[in-house]
Amino acid sequence: MVKREEIVHAANLIKIDLEDHEKYIEQVEKILNYFDILDKASPESESFVIQEMPLDKLRDDKYVPFNEKLITQLKNYKETFVKAPKMI
């Protein structure tokens, strides 16, 4: 059984503030309960395939300059810097 505080903790990890979101917690709990069906699945083996990309298939690691005006498409910048909130 999943604990509610664990769901809130997971949300905090991805920077989502769930303080007033009781409805989300209930819905996520219900969905996770449904996911328990995976306990009944019996995979043929304990292995699984993940996508791997051999190094020789990667494109060349070359610097390709983009349009220098690209930064003007950002909503908050000064010269060539992005303006962000203060860290402390």
Partner 1 sequence: MNLGITATQYLEQVKNGSLTVEEFIAKTMERIKKVEGSIHAYISLNDDAISQAKQIDKKLKAKEKVGSCLGMPISIKDNICAKGMKTTCASKMLENFVAPYDATVVSNLKSQDAIITGKTNLDEFAMGISTEFSYFGPSRNPWNADYVPGGSSGGSAVSVSALECIASLGSDTGGSVRNPASFCSVVGLKPTYGLVSRYGLISYANSIEQVGPIARTVEDTAFILNIISGIDTHDNTTIDKGKTDYTKDLDAGIDGKRIGIISEMIGEGVDKQVASATSKAISKLQSLGAKCSEISLDSVKYSVATYYTIAATEAGSNLARYDNIRYGFDFDVEGYEFNAYISKARKNFGPEVTRRMILGAFVPSAGYVGKYFLKALKVRSKIKSEIEQAFKKFDLLFAPTVPVLPFKIGEKIDDPLSLYLLDINTIVANLSGIPAISIPYEIAQGLPIGMQLFANSMQEKTLLQAAHALEKTTNLPGVPI
CB of 84 to partner 1, least distance (A): 5
Shortest distance, position 34 Cβ to partner 1, whole Å: 6
Binding mask 51-80 for partner 1 (x = CB under 8 A): x-x---xxx------xx--x--xxxx----
> CA 59 to CA 72: how far, in whole Å?
28
Torsion of CA 79, 84, 87, 88, to 10 degrees: 90
Pick from 5, 62, 81, 84 the residue near partner 1 by CB under 8 A: 84
Instruction: Encode 13-38: b = buried (16+ Cβ within 10 Å), e = exposed.
Output: eeeeebeeeeeebeebeeeeeeeeee
**Which residues contribute to the site for partner 1 (CB under 8 A)?**
2, 6-7, 10-11, 13-18, 21, 24, 27-28, 30-32, 34-35, 37-41, 43-51, 53, 57-59, 66-67, 70, 73-76, 82-88
